[in-house]
Amino acid sequence: DAGVTQSPTHLIKTRGQQVTLRCSPKSGHDTVSWYQQALGQGPQFIFQYYEEEERQRGNFPDRFSGHQFPNYSSELNVNALLLGDSALYLCASSILGLAGGTGDTQYFGPGTRLTVL
Amino acid sequence: DAKTTQPNSMESNEEEPVHLPCNHSTISGTDYIHWYRQLPSQGPEYVIHGLTSNVNNRMASLAIAEDRKSSTLILHRATLRDAAVYYCILRDVPLNYGGSQGNLIFGKGTKLSVKP
Protein backbone atom coordinates (compact mmCIF):
# COMPACT_ATOMS: atom_id res chain seq x y z
CA ASP A 1 0.00 0.00 0.00
CA ALA A 2 1.63 3.19 -1.19
CA GLY A 3 1.84 5.91 1.39
CA VAL A 4 1.74 9.62 0.73
CA THR A 5 3.96 10.61 -2.16
CA GLN A 6 5.28 14.04 -3.04
CA SER A 7 7.09 15.47 -6.02
CA PRO A 8 9.58 16.77 -6.67
CA THR A 9 11.96 15.82 -3.87
CA HIS A 10 14.05 18.93 -4.19
CA LEU A 11 13.55 22.20 -6.02
CA ILE A 12 15.63 25.34 -6.48
CA LYS A 13 13.99 28.58 -7.57
CA THR A 14 14.89 32.25 -7.63
CA ARG A 15 13.06 35.12 -5.97
CA GLY A 16 9.91 36.21 -7.78
CA GLN A 17 9.37 32.89 -9.50
CA GLN A 18 6.38 30.60 -9.04
CA VAL A 19 6.44 26.97 -7.93
CA THR A 20 4.00 24.04 -7.94
CA LEU A 21 4.38 21.10 -5.58
CA ARG A 22 2.39 17.90 -5.92
CA CYS A 23 0.99 15.35 -3.50
CA SER A 24 -0.76 12.01 -3.85
CA PRO A 25 -2.57 10.91 -0.70
CA LYS A 26 -2.51 7.49 0.87
CA SER A 27 -4.93 5.08 -0.77
CA GLY A 28 -8.44 5.55 0.59
CA HIS A 29 -7.77 9.00 2.03
CA ASP A 30 -9.88 11.96 0.96
CA THR A 31 -8.37 14.91 2.84
CA VAL A 32 -5.06 16.60 2.13
CA SER A 33 -3.26 19.12 4.33
CA TRP A 34 -0.13 21.11 3.54
CA TYR A 35 2.51 22.22 6.04
CA GLN A 36 5.65 24.34 5.82
CA GLN A 37 8.64 23.40 7.97
CA ALA A 38 11.49 25.86 8.33
CA LEU A 39 14.84 24.55 9.50
CA GLY A 40 14.81 23.70 13.21
CA GLN A 41 11.09 24.38 13.59
CA GLY A 42 7.99 22.25 13.77
CA PRO A 43 5.69 22.10 10.75
CA GLN A 44 3.28 25.03 10.30
CA PHE A 45 -0.16 24.45 8.82
CA ILE A 46 -0.83 26.12 5.48
CA PHE A 47 -4.26 24.80 4.43
CA GLN A 48 -6.44 21.73 4.11
CA TYR A 49 -8.50 20.42 1.18
CA TYR A 50 -11.53 18.19 1.19
CA GLU A 51 -13.99 17.61 -1.65
CA GLU A 52 -11.86 19.86 -3.87
CA GLU A 53 -12.40 22.85 -1.60
CA GLU A 54 -10.12 24.66 0.81
CA ARG A 55 -11.66 23.94 4.21
CA GLN A 56 -9.25 25.57 6.61
CA ARG A 57 -6.31 27.90 6.26
CA GLY A 58 -3.41 28.84 8.47
CA ASN A 59 -1.70 32.20 8.71
CA PHE A 60 -0.19 32.26 5.23
CA PRO A 61 -0.56 34.98 2.58
CA ASP A 62 -2.58 34.64 -0.62
CA ARG A 63 0.63 33.88 -2.50
CA PHE A 64 0.06 30.35 -1.23
CA SER A 65 -2.77 28.62 -3.04
CA GLY A 66 -3.81 25.08 -3.64
CA HIS A 67 -6.00 22.72 -5.51
CA GLN A 68 -7.44 19.27 -4.98
CA PHE A 69 -8.39 17.05 -7.90
CA PRO A 70 -11.22 14.51 -8.16
CA ASN A 71 -8.76 11.70 -7.47
CA TYR A 72 -7.90 13.45 -4.15
CA SER A 73 -4.39 14.41 -5.21
CA SER A 74 -3.39 17.97 -4.50
CA GLU A 75 -1.11 20.79 -5.58
CA LEU A 76 0.44 23.62 -3.62
CA ASN A 77 1.29 26.76 -5.58
CA VAL A 78 3.46 29.58 -4.32
CA ASN A 79 3.71 32.80 -6.32
CA ALA A 80 6.27 35.59 -6.13
CA LEU A 81 8.73 33.49 -4.15
CA LEU A 82 10.64 35.10 -1.30
CA LEU A 83 13.85 33.94 0.32
CA GLY A 84 11.81 33.16 3.44
CA ASP A 85 9.77 30.60 1.52
CA SER A 86 12.77 28.27 1.59
CA ALA A 87 11.58 25.30 3.63
CA LEU A 88 10.47 21.69 3.61
CA TYR A 89 6.88 21.46 2.37
CA LEU A 90 4.97 18.53 3.76
CA CYS A 91 1.75 17.00 2.56
CA ALA A 92 -0.42 14.95 4.89
CA SER A 93 -3.50 12.89 4.11
CA SER A 94 -6.31 11.62 6.29
CA ILE A 95 -9.89 10.38 6.20
CA LEU A 96 -12.61 12.81 7.10
CA GLY A 97 -15.37 11.59 9.34
CA LEU A 98 -13.74 8.91 11.47
CA ALA A 99 -14.84 9.15 15.06
CA GLY A 100 -12.96 11.10 17.65
CA GLY A 101 -9.20 11.27 17.80
CA THR A 102 -8.78 8.35 15.40
CA GLY A 103 -10.06 10.36 12.48
CA ASP A 104 -7.45 12.97 13.03
CA THR A 105 -4.48 10.71 12.31
CA GLN A 106 -2.56 12.30 9.50
CA TYR A 107 -0.07 10.47 7.31
CA PHE A 108 2.79 12.58 6.04
CA GLY A 109 4.82 12.35 2.89
CA PRO A 110 8.60 12.80 2.84
CA GLY A 111 8.27 16.42 1.78
CA THR A 112 9.64 18.66 -0.94
CA ARG A 113 12.71 20.71 -0.07
CA LEU A 114 12.35 24.14 -1.68
CA THR A 115 15.32 26.47 -1.86
CA VAL A 116 14.79 30.05 -3.00
CA LEU A 117 17.90 31.91 -4.10
CA ASP B 1 -5.96 24.24 20.47
CA ALA B 2 -4.35 24.29 23.90
CA LYS B 3 -0.58 24.59 24.21
CA THR B 4 1.91 21.90 25.21
CA THR B 5 5.34 22.17 26.83
CA GLN B 6 8.13 19.67 26.15
CA PRO B 7 11.84 19.57 26.97
CA ASN B 8 14.00 20.64 24.04
CA SER B 9 16.13 17.52 24.11
CA MET B 10 16.66 14.21 25.88
CA GLU B 11 19.24 11.45 25.72
CA SER B 12 18.82 7.75 26.15
CA ASN B 13 20.92 4.61 25.95
CA GLU B 14 20.03 1.92 23.49
CA GLU B 15 17.86 -0.91 24.87
CA GLU B 16 16.73 1.23 27.81
CA PRO B 17 13.25 2.68 28.37
CA VAL B 18 12.63 6.33 27.56
CA HIS B 19 10.01 8.54 29.15
CA LEU B 20 9.20 11.68 27.17
CA PRO B 21 7.14 14.18 29.20
CA CYS B 22 4.57 16.67 27.99
CA ASN B 23 2.75 19.29 30.03
CA HIS B 24 -0.62 20.59 28.91
CA SER B 25 -2.12 22.38 31.89
CA THR B 26 -4.83 24.16 29.82
CA ILE B 27 -6.16 20.99 28.20
CA SER B 28 -9.93 20.93 27.70
CA GLY B 29 -12.21 18.00 28.32
CA THR B 30 -12.52 17.20 24.63
CA ASP B 31 -8.84 17.47 23.70
CA TYR B 32 -7.17 14.28 22.55
CA ILE B 33 -3.43 13.93 23.24
CA HIS B 34 -1.51 12.94 20.11
CA TRP B 35 2.15 12.10 19.65
CA TYR B 36 3.96 12.27 16.36
CA ARG B 37 7.64 11.83 15.68
CA GLN B 38 9.87 12.99 12.87
CA LEU B 39 12.92 10.96 11.96
CA PRO B 40 15.78 12.76 10.22
CA SER B 41 14.97 13.69 6.62
CA GLN B 42 11.43 12.32 6.85
CA GLY B 43 7.92 13.66 7.38
CA PRO B 44 6.28 13.29 10.78
CA GLU B 45 4.68 9.97 11.60
CA TYR B 46 1.87 9.16 13.98
CA VAL B 47 2.92 7.37 17.17
CA ILE B 48 -0.06 7.16 19.51
CA HIS B 49 -3.00 9.09 20.89
CA GLY B 50 -5.34 8.98 23.87
CA LEU B 51 -8.07 10.83 25.73
CA THR B 52 -8.15 9.73 29.37
CA SER B 53 -6.93 6.17 29.75
CA ASN B 54 -3.41 4.91 29.22
CA VAL B 55 -2.86 3.49 25.75
CA ASN B 56 -0.49 0.92 24.30
CA ASN B 57 0.39 0.07 20.73
CA ARG B 58 3.24 -1.63 18.93
CA MET B 59 5.32 1.54 18.91
CA ALA B 60 4.88 2.99 22.37
CA SER B 61 2.74 3.53 25.45
CA LEU B 62 1.00 6.71 26.49
CA ALA B 63 0.52 7.40 30.17
CA ILE B 64 -1.99 10.16 30.94
CA ALA B 65 -2.13 11.83 34.34
CA GLU B 66 -5.39 11.55 36.22
CA ASP B 67 -6.00 15.31 35.92
CA ARG B 68 -4.92 15.17 32.23
CA LYS B 69 -2.59 18.13 32.71
CA SER B 70 0.39 16.06 31.67
CA SER B 71 1.25 12.91 29.78
CA THR B 72 4.28 10.74 29.11
CA LEU B 73 5.24 8.88 25.98
CA ILE B 74 7.07 5.69 26.87
CA LEU B 75 9.39 3.86 24.52
CA HIS B 76 9.98 0.56 26.26
CA ARG B 77 13.33 -0.26 24.65
CA ALA B 78 14.94 2.55 22.73
CA THR B 79 16.73 1.67 19.52
CA LEU B 80 18.96 3.82 17.36
CA ARG B 81 16.05 4.12 14.94
CA ASP B 82 14.01 5.88 17.62
CA ALA B 83 16.27 8.93 17.43
CA ALA B 84 13.86 11.63 16.27
CA VAL B 85 11.99 14.76 17.26
CA TYR B 86 8.88 13.84 19.24
CA TYR B 87 5.88 16.17 19.16
CA CYS B 88 3.08 16.22 21.72
CA ILE B 89 -0.07 17.77 20.21
CA LEU B 90 -3.53 18.43 21.61
CA ARG B 91 -6.41 17.99 19.20
CA ASP B 92 -10.01 18.97 19.61
CA VAL B 93 -11.38 17.45 16.45
CA PRO B 94 -14.05 19.80 15.09
CA LEU B 95 -15.72 17.31 12.79
CA ASN B 96 -18.53 19.74 12.10
CA TYR B 97 -16.22 22.61 11.20
CA GLY B 98 -17.30 23.06 7.61
CA GLY B 99 -16.27 19.52 6.86
CA SER B 100 -12.72 20.06 8.08
CA GLN B 101 -10.87 18.03 10.66
CA GLY B 102 -8.73 20.96 11.61
CA ASN B 103 -4.97 21.11 11.51
CA LEU B 104 -2.13 19.85 13.68
CA ILE B 105 -0.35 22.55 15.66
CA PHE B 106 3.26 21.52 16.13
CA GLY B 107 5.61 23.03 18.69
CA LYS B 108 9.36 22.47 18.57
CA GLY B 109 9.10 19.03 20.16
CA THR B 110 11.74 17.02 22.03
CA LYS B 111 14.81 15.90 20.16
CA LEU B 112 15.64 12.39 21.38
CA SER B 113 19.19 11.12 20.97
CA VAL B 114 19.89 7.43 21.47
CA LYS B 115 23.42 6.32 22.34
CA PRO B 116 24.64 2.84 21.45
Report the chain B residue with the minimal C-alpha distance to residue A111. Answer: B43
> Model confidence at B98, in pLDDT bands (50, 70, 90)?
very low
> Residue A93: its pLDDT value, please?
93
What are the pLDDT digits (tens) for A25-61? 999 899 999 999 999 999 999 999 989 999 889 999 9
Is residue A102 within 8 angstroms of chain B, CB to CB? Answer: yes
How many residues are present in chain B?
A: 116
* Interchain CB distance below 8 Å, B101 and A43: no
Sequence-distant (≥ 6) Cβ neighbours of residue B13 within 8 angstroms: B78, B114, B115
Whole-number Å distance between alpha carbons of A48 and B3: 21
Whole-number Å distance between alpha carbons of B90 and B106: 9
> Model confidence at B100, in pLDDT bands (50, 70, 90)?
very low
Sequence-distant (≥ 6) Cβ neighbours of residue B49 within 8 angstroms: A101, A102, A104, A105, B32, B33, B34, B35, B55, B62, B91
What are the pLDDT digits (tens) for B42-51? 999 999 999 8
Nearest to A42 among B42, B49, B107 (CB): B107
Q: Which residue has the higher pLDDT, B75 or B94?
A: B75
> Residue A74: its pLDDT value, please?
98
What are the pLDDT digits (tens) for A59-115? 999 999 999 999 999 999 999 999 999 999 999 998 875 544 455 688 999 999 999
* Interchain CB distance below 8 Å, B103 and A58: yes
What are the pLDDT digits (tens) for B52-80? 999 999 999 999 999 999 999 999 999 99
Cα A106–chain centre separation: 12
